[in-house]
Amino acid sequence: MRGRLVVGNWKMHGELAATARLLQALKAALTPVEGCAFAVCVPFPYLAQAAEALRGSALAWGAQDLSEHDAGAFTGEVSGNMLRDFACRYAIVGHSERRTLHGETDRTAGAKLGAALRSGLTPIVCVGETLAERERGDTEAVLARQIDALLQAQGVGALARSLLAYEPVWAIGTGHTATPDQAQRAHAFIRGRIAAADAAIAADLSVLYGGSVKSSNARELFSMPDVDGGLIGGASLAAGDFLAICAALSQR
């Protein structure tokens, strides 16, 4: 049975005292749930703090990005092996904010997927269409292009050790959540596209939904058959909201 997960993406939020409080509150309240995993992807400077605070807890931690390179003259970049030094389990790859604000492409997502796997990290690869693409009826074409680029870059076997996140760009940080039906259709399409390359890998692949998930809509979204959990931005910054979303996953 494929795993279910809730992963927080803190984005560029936090300062030392507030992150300490948030980590402690999550650690104190979260208990292990069979078949479920919980994690937070924190800004790079807080990885040591997360590792220290969360070791031995039911909450794993990870990063929001990594370099496609393993080492070298790449000023400002952070490698997968550096993330492993802080016992990261996950690295987000190809988030739409990296794509739209930092010029990342399908090619870089494929390269970063490979870099994460080489370092023993579990990549959480984000795909999703913009509002204009959805309105043009291009949602499936965009998802197909993004998935095919991953398959071409790293082969379908890479997805056996990865997670995907369907994150419609129009839903991220906007308060406009995809309906459970819209999410289910996109997730089923993604799974079907991968199944064409390897049905067993597709069946085992966890696909998270991301885009304005809140405690009020999480349960309905997580009840869809191809939605295996969530990637949570804004609502992961308040302990009560994030814990309620984790509880919604546990009760599915």
Residues identified as active-site:
95, 167
Shortest distance, position 92 Cβ to ligand PEP, whole Å: 8
Shortest distance, position 58 Cβ to ligand PEP, whole Å: 21
Which residue number, 114 or 210, has a Cβ lying nearer to ligand PEP? 210
Which residue number, 1 or 101, has a Cβ lying nearer to ligand PEP? 101
Which residue number, 163 or 232, has a Cβ lying nearer to ligand PEP? 232
Residues in contact with ligand PEP by the rule CB under 6 A: 9, 11, 167, 172-173, 210-213, 231-235
Which residue number, 47 or 235, has a Cβ lying nearer to ligand PEP? 235
Shortest distance, position 170 Cβ to ligand PEP, whole Å: 10
Report residue 114 CA to chain centroid gap. 16
The residue with its CB nearest to ligand PEP is 233
Shortest distance, position 98 Cβ to ligand PEP, whole Å: 10
